[in-house]
Amino acid sequence: MYDVIVIGAGHAGCEAAFACARLKLNTLLLTINLDKVALMPCNPAIGGMGKSQLIKELDAMGGQMGKIADLAGIQFKLLNQKKGPAVQALRTQIDKKEYETLMKHLLETTDNILLKQGTVAKLLVDGIKVKGVLTEDGMQFLAKAVIITSGTFLRGRIIIGDKDYYAGRMGENPAMNLTKSLTSLGFEMDRFQTATPPRVDKRSIDFSKTIISSGDEEAGSFSFWACPKRGERANIPSFLTYTNSKTHDLIAQNIKYSPIRSGIINTHGPRHCPSIDRKVLNFPQKHKHPVFIEPEGVHTNEMYLQGLTTSMPFYLQEKIVNTVEGLEKASIIRPGYAVEYDYLIPCQLNYTLESKLIENLYFAGQINGTSGYEEAAVQGFVAGANASLKILGKKPLILTRDTSYIGVLIDDLITKDLSEPYRMYTSRAEYRLFLRSDNADLRLATLGFEAGFLEKEAHQKTLKKQQAIDSLIKLLKNITIKPQKANRYRPNLKLKEPIRLYDLFKRPQVNIGDIKYWLDHASNGYGDGVWKQAEIIIKYEGYINRQFEEIKKTKKLEKFAIPSNIDYFRFKGLTYGAQEKLSRKRPNTLGQASRIAGVSPSDISILLLNLRRK
Amino acid sequence: MNKKKINNMFYIEEDTIAAIGTKPGEAAIGIVKISGKEAIRVADSIFRSKNGKTINELKSYSLLYGEIIDGRGEVVDEVIVGLMRNPYSYTREDVVEINTHGGITPTTKVLSLCMDRGARLAEPGEFTKRAFLNGRIDLSQAEAVIDLINSKTEESLKIAANNIKGNIKKEIASIRDGIVEILVQLEASIDFIEEDLETTPYEELRKKTGVLLERVEQLIKDESKGEIIKNGVKVAIVGKPNVGKSSLLNLLVKKDKAIVTSIPGTTRDAVEEIIYVGGIPLIIIDTAGIRKTASSVEKIGVERSLGHIDEADIVLMVVDGSRKLDGRDFNIIGKIENKNSILVINKVDLGQKEDIKKLGLPFGPEQTIRVSALKKTGIEDLEHSIKKKVLGNGELNLEDKIIINQRHKKIMQDVREVLQDAETAMANKLSEEFASADLKIASGLLGEITGDTAREEVLENIFSRFCIGK
């Protein structure tokens, strides 16, 4: 008897297992192939817009992805450096094998986690409670909670050209029976599709025809707690080239062989990474598309062709690749392919990622219709955390839109209708100016610590940082400088009246260095991170405060829980449309209800009145 | 009940709401109600008492006499203010009631001032909803609130749709599209920085924001011109001299004399008269002339009457039924063909000289009313006909029109403010996400008018506009 069984050791499964083990729960991590733990089957990169915010938040609460990505990173880039702090993001090229090795090693050396190879065929359920799993080999494992993080493996079907066959990923067995088990329990499933580009041999590339692209020395790291020293980090370049009219002509001539045209694929793929076939079809006016050539790792010759995703027949793939400058002689090591898989329509989940239908059964990652390693990892953490907290009889860990990108992700998943695999963007977060990478620790460390996932030391560090920030801001409010002193150092200020350093800091042209100069030795003792926070808080005070106001306004709605057993059709006054939508989504809170498409503000008013009447 | 306990009680609405509590025109006084935490502050900010006391100094259930002062320090109305402190009020929140003079002018102005000072316009049934949520009324009454919310919502949606004129609605939608377009560019340059997209330069987006801001300003100008208070239900009484226009007016006025009010016209120097017909305020255009002696009416002449037709919502075409219609009558009738009009055949006591039916005039039987101003007959029919024209089949409900105008005005002012913020952010070279935060609020606000609230539209547009996917 285990406490928790996690099905699948991808990015979601690993974080789920770590979270459970952290609360000392006896955790079984079952996976189809133990050589493929924490595999990155698509791009060799972690982070990017919206995603780096997710990892930082995960790290702030005690998750592992950030630390391992920092260690396995071979090139670090800070995106949007010229923009404000809210939209800067870290993107890291990763040595995939290194990442897998480090993550698997961490799993193997973590107490309370037991790794086992096996394919789950069936869920064991007692009434409306899950009680364990049955594998294809006939092994039975019992547990108090089960977390499904099966990625693309449920009835996974690979498509290359006119060939298609069942596989979880290329060269890996699918899980053919679990879907049936889920649908027989009443879960609604649908199918999505995603695809990956071919990999080519480094030795066959003419790099002289490409543009070299290196990382930033001062990019920073994902983890707030364990930062490897900068000097120790690799900075392995990637390369940029472009497709051309030859590429596009070849694709256009052969478009009938593309599975998106031949009809062999008719499910939705993610719009954020369309195949080159689709780009040529949809944007015929564009004469070139970028192709980033990225290393898959340090100890391999495999190079990833970001931008050339295709599931054309193998023989055409190489021809297409060879039209591109620098890739004329490139030889494909692995072909690109598309994979189609079952996912759970995620509105069947609560904020805890526990299913509404079967108690103690959780879902996380790509199975919930998301795309991306980072999106998967944070869900794994939330599912693992809540499965454990529930077993221990503790308060659930619920993240809402106003606390984190993770909250935005989960709220979107369980509220909206997905039409394609879900990817995070900063523009999805309405409180983006407040939910920044740089303050993820300040926002979430206490939550992570109190729930038992973040170490005490890390939490203490955050509390000290917060105190230092508060004290620095107070100091700046208390110190007024004379105009002569200010103007002497920065003549363009042309000050006439004495001014508080706090107010001076608000001016766009005044930077940290200036304030430090005026503060003189009083600035000692505040670290770079503290200064940075003070600067952001002071400079953007108006905008950030407005977001706080908006958050405050919605708070009560967000906190108003709706019982799960409500019959909306018996509620007087609700429109039929609203009754239907609400019955289908069964929102956890009034706030969530208000975001369901087709539910109007007056429906919410009426819902509130009906709920209060009970 | 313990006051402290009440304060801790759950209620979802944090903001302070205001509404006109009386039906416009039906009574000699009007009441504006304010409820919520800020009610006293809001009321005090527009009120100056005669004895120097503030509302905040009042005990619950007491009254204070004074004046309502607008933003420029001018007196809006003489009022009596009543205070009911939490929890001893209908909503169990602090409630201030401002008793104004009757008619729509004072109440609308006071309501508008309350909104300027931070109160929000109450939703239909919201006072009762709060009363219920705060435990003031029981379940059966809550049912009524639900019905009210439903019926009011439907009705006001319908009215809102009808009430914004097509071209204004188009303009608002077009401004909103312009904002979304800028957002698409800003967001594409943020979230898709790695894609190297050809987005519009920042400076150009700033200029576009400036243009949108000007268009919003223009709308606000137009809209304040179009406020109910100024052109409400405008009625023009037209007809050639000596057909009895002024007697007709005098008759209409006399009937409702108790609540005749005068307000200074804003578009002209002349004084406009508001008369109430069955509780509906009608603004009679240029009555300054019409109400003078019969001899002056002669001087006004046909030409001047014609000038009023354009401005009017309803035209009362008066003819002398005791004589044959002549060219001057037909001339005027020709001009009002496209107007919402009523043919008033006066002097029916003198006998009919013309078979109006046979003339084939563009007035249906319901729009042809026979009156005798002298004998005071047919007035009831005329009132009924006017009422029907105004209310139609619920197409134009004055109370709702006031509310909708107020709401639009407030929304447009808020839009103006955030667009100004966006322009400033862009001018100060703050990075894209700040202007974006302002513009998102603006598009959301305008969406409240146009009914577009699509959350994903910016992302959708980015995907359709740009080739995404490295």
A537: containing domain: 456-544
Nearest residue of chain A to residue B453 (CA atoms)? A597
Among A226-235, A509-518, B174-183, B381-390, the minimum mean pLDDT is found in A226-235
Do B442 and B320 share a structural domain? no
- Judge whether residue B275 has pLDDT over 90: no
B380-425 pLDDT, tens digit per residue, is 888 888 777 765 544 444 555 555 667 777 888 899 999 999 999 9
Is residue A363 in a domain? no
Do A574 and A534 share a structural domain? no
Is residue B217 in a domain? yes
Rounded to 10 deg, the angle between the A541-559 and B432-450 helix axes is: 50
Length of chain B: 470
- Average of per-residue pLDDT across B161-176: 71
A492-519 pLDDT, tens digit per residue, is 888 999 999 999 999 988 999 999 999 8
Query: CA A83 to CA A80: how far, in whole Å?
Result: 5
Nearest residue of chain B to residue A280 (CA atoms)? B467
Do A584 and A470 share a structural domain? no
- A351 in contact with chain B, both atoms CB, cutoff 8 A: no
Is residue A10 in a domain? no
Do A580 and A490 share a structural domain? no
- Average of per-residue pLDDT across B122-135: 80
> What pLDDT was estimated at residue A55?
98
Nearest residue of chain A to residue B438 (CA atoms)? A543
Number of domains in chain B: 3
Do A298 and A247 share a structural domain? yes
Instruction: Give the closest of B145, B194, B463 to A271, CB-based.
Output: B463
- Cβ-based contacts of B10 with chain A (< 8 Å): 556
> What pLDDT was estimated at residue B262?
38
Higher pLDDT, B21 or B343: B343
Do A581 and A493 share a structural domain? no
Do B281 and B417 share a structural domain? no
Is residue B409 in a domain? yes
- Judge whether residue A141 has pLDDT over 60: yes
- Judge whether residue A425 has pLDDT over 80: yes
Is residue B37 in a domain? yes
How many Å is the maximal CA-CA distance in chain B? 89
- Judge whether residue A216 has pLDDT over 70: yes
Do A289 and A234 share a structural domain? yes
- Judge whether residue B162 has pLDDT over 80: no
Do A594 and A494 share a structural domain? no
> What pLDDT was estimated at residue A525?
84
The one-letter amino acid code at A538 reads I
- Judge whether residue A431 has pLDDT over 80: yes
Ramachandran class of B61: left when φ > 0, alpha when ψ lies in -120 to 50, beta otherwise: left
Domain boundary among B392, B418, B440: B392
Q: Between chains, do B437 and A84 touch, taking CB under 8 Å as contact?
A: no
- Average of per-residue pLDDT across B319-343: 83
- Judge whether residue A565 has pLDDT over 70: yes
- A86 in contact with chain B, both atoms CB, cutoff 8 A: yes
Q: Between chains, do A427 and B12 touch, taking CB under 8 Å as contact?
A: no
- B151 in contact with chain A, both atoms CB, cutoff 8 A: no
Domain boundary among A306, A323, A339: A339
> What pLDDT was estimated at residue B13?
62
Name the minimum distance, in Å, from the CA of B468 to any CA of chain A.
Answer: 6
> What pLDDT was estimated at residue B269?
30
> What pLDDT was estimated at residue B166?
58
Name the minimum distance, in Å, from the CA of A272 to any CA of chain B.
Answer: 5
- Judge whether residue A614 has pLDDT over 70: no
CATH number at residue B84: 3.30.1360.120
Q: What is the mean pLDDT of chain A?
A: 94
Instruction: Give the closest of A283, A609, A613 to B129, CB-based.
Output: A609
- Average of per-residue pLDDT across A590-594: 93
Do A335 and A214 share a structural domain? yes
> What pLDDT was estimated at residue B394?
41
> What pLDDT was estimated at residue A264?
82
Domain boundary among B157, B177, B208: B157
Among A3-17, A200-214, A413-427, A512-526, the minimum mean pLDDT is found in A512-526
Name the minimum distance, in Å, from the CA of B191 to any CA of chain A.
Answer: 6
> What pLDDT was estimated at residue B295?
44
> What pLDDT was estimated at residue B257?
38
Number of domains in chain A: 3
- Average of per-residue pLDDT across A167-174: 92
Write down the number of H helices and E strands in chain A: 21, 22
- A559 in contact with chain B, both atoms CB, cutoff 8 A: no
- Judge whether residue B167 has pLDDT over 90: no
> What pLDDT was estimated at residue B294?
44
Per-residue tokens: A526: 């505040």
Helix-strand-coil split of chain B, %, nearest 5: 50, 15, 30
Do B173 and B196 share a structural domain? yes
Among B107-111, B140-144, B317-321, the minimum mean pLDDT is found in B140-144
Do A472 and A602 share a structural domain? no
Domain boundary among A320, A339, A358: A339
What residue spans of B9-138 are helical by DSSP H?
A: 39-46, 104-116, 126-133
> What pLDDT was estimated at residue A204?
97
Among A392-401, A491-500, B348-357, B428-437, the minimum mean pLDDT is found in B348-357
- Judge whether residue B367 has pLDDT over 60: yes
Among A16-20, A26-30, A462-466, B225-229, the minimum mean pLDDT is found in B225-229
Query: CA A396 to CA A384: how far, in whole Å?
Result: 11
Do B376 and B323 share a structural domain? yes
- A592 in contact with chain B, both atoms CB, cutoff 8 A: no
> What pLDDT was estimated at residue B259?
34
Is residue A168 in a domain? no
ipTM confidence: 0.91
- Cβ-based contacts of A87 with chain B (< 8 Å): 190-191, 431-433
Is residue A334 in a domain? yes
With tokens 């035209």, the residue in question is B315
> What pLDDT was estimated at residue B463?
80
Do A514 and A466 share a structural domain? yes
- Judge whether residue A376 has pLDDT over 80: yes
Nearest residue of chain B to residue A270 (CA atoms)? B469
Window 451-470 of B: residues touching A by CB (8 A cutoff) are: 455, 458-459, 463, 467-470
B42: containing domain: 3-157
- A81 in contact with chain B, both atoms CB, cutoff 8 A: no
- A84 in contact with chain B, both atoms CB, cutoff 8 A: yes
Query: CA A269 to CA A266: how far, in whole Å?
Result: 9
Beta-carbon contacts below 8 Å between A and B: 121
Percent of chain A with pLDDT over 70: 99
A50-64 pLDDT, tens digit per residue, is 999 999 999 999 999
Q: Between chains, do B437 and A432 touch, taking CB under 8 Å as contact?
A: yes
- Average of per-residue pLDDT across B9-17: 64
In our burial notation (b when 16+ CB lie closer than 10 A, e otherwise), range A254-287 reads bbebbbbeeebbeebbbbbbbbbbbbbbebeeee
> What pLDDT was estimated at residue A497?
93
- A608 in contact with chain B, both atoms CB, cutoff 8 A: yes
Backbone angles phi, psi at B62, to 5 degrees: -125, 165
Query: Highest mean pLDDT: which of A130-134, B218-222, B394-398, B449-453?
Result: A130-134
Query: CA A287 to CA A544: how far, in whole Å?
Result: 42
Instruction: Give the closest of B12, B430, B433 to A557, CB-based.
Output: B12
Do B316 and B334 share a structural domain? yes
What residue spans of B9-83 are helical by DSSP H?
A: 39-46
Domain boundary among A316, A339, A362: A339
Give which of A95, A51, A45, A44 is closest to A72, Cα–Cα.
A95
- Average of per-residue pLDDT across B284-291: 47
- Cβ-based contacts of B429 with chain A (< 8 Å): 508
B76-125 pLDDT, tens digit per residue, is 889 999 999 988 898 899 999 999 887 667 888 898 899 889 898 887 77
Q: Between chains, do B459 and A546 touch, taking CB under 8 Å as contact?
A: no
Query: CA A460 to CA A457: how far, in whole Å?
Result: 5
Q: How far is CA B183 from the centre of its chain?
A: 31
CATH number at residue A580: 1.10.150.570
DSSP class of residue A366 equals: G
CATH number at residue B341: 3.40.50.300
Among A189-203, A335-349, A561-575, B163-177, the minimum mean pLDDT is found in B163-177
Instruction: Give the closest of B15, B139, B433 to A83, CB-based.
Output: B433
Do B278 and B204 share a structural domain? no
Do A215 and A303 share a structural domain? yes
- Judge whether residue B298 has pLDDT over 50: no
- Cβ-based contacts of A613 with chain B (< 8 Å): 139, 142
Do B378 and B266 share a structural domain? yes
Do B300 and B330 share a structural domain? yes
Give which of A510, A450, A441, A452 is closest to A481, Cα–Cα.
A510
Is residue A415 in a domain? no
**Computed over its alpha carbons, how large is the radius of gyration of chain B?**
27
Backbone angles phi, psi at B224, to 5 degrees: -70, -25
Is residue A284 in a domain? yes
Confidence grade of residue B27 (pLDDT, cut at 50, 70, 90):
low
Instruction: Give the closest of A292, A427, A428 to B470, CB-based.
Output: A292
Do B363 and B417 share a structural domain? no
Is residue B58 in a domain? yes
Prior bond to B24 cis, omega within 30?
no
- Average of per-residue pLDDT across B250-266: 46
Write down the number of H helices and E strands in chain B: 17, 14
> What pLDDT was estimated at residue B271?
37
Is residue B470 in a domain? no
Query: CA A32 to CA A168: how far, in whole Å?
Result: 9
Domain boundary among B345, B373, B392: B392
Q: Pick the residue of A293, A294, A427, A535 with the most B CBs within 10 A to test the interface with B by mutation.
A: A427
Nearest residue of chain B to residue A553 (CA atoms)? B14
> What pLDDT was estimated at residue B268?
31
Do B94 and B47 share a structural domain? yes
Do A330 and A265 share a structural domain? yes
Confidence grade of residue B149 (pLDDT, cut at 50, 70, 90):
low
Among A250-254, A467-471, B224-228, the minimum mean pLDDT is found in B224-228
Higher pLDDT, A608 or A106: A106
Q: Between chains, do A613 and B150 touch, taking CB under 8 Å as contact?
A: no
- A236 in contact with chain B, both atoms CB, cutoff 8 A: no
Instruction: Give the closest of A282, A543, A590 to B434, CB-based.
Output: A543
Nearest residue of chain A to residue B144 (CA atoms)? A573
Window 54-83 of B: residues touching A by CB (8 A cutoff) are: none
B46-64 pLDDT, tens digit per residue, is 999 999 999 999 999 999 9
Do B211 and B78 share a structural domain? no
Window 489-528 of A: residues touching B by CB (8 A cutoff) are: 508
Is residue A270 in a domain? yes
Among A153-157, A277-281, B454-458, the minimum mean pLDDT is found in B454-458
Do B379 and B340 share a structural domain? yes
Higher pLDDT, A610 or B229: A610
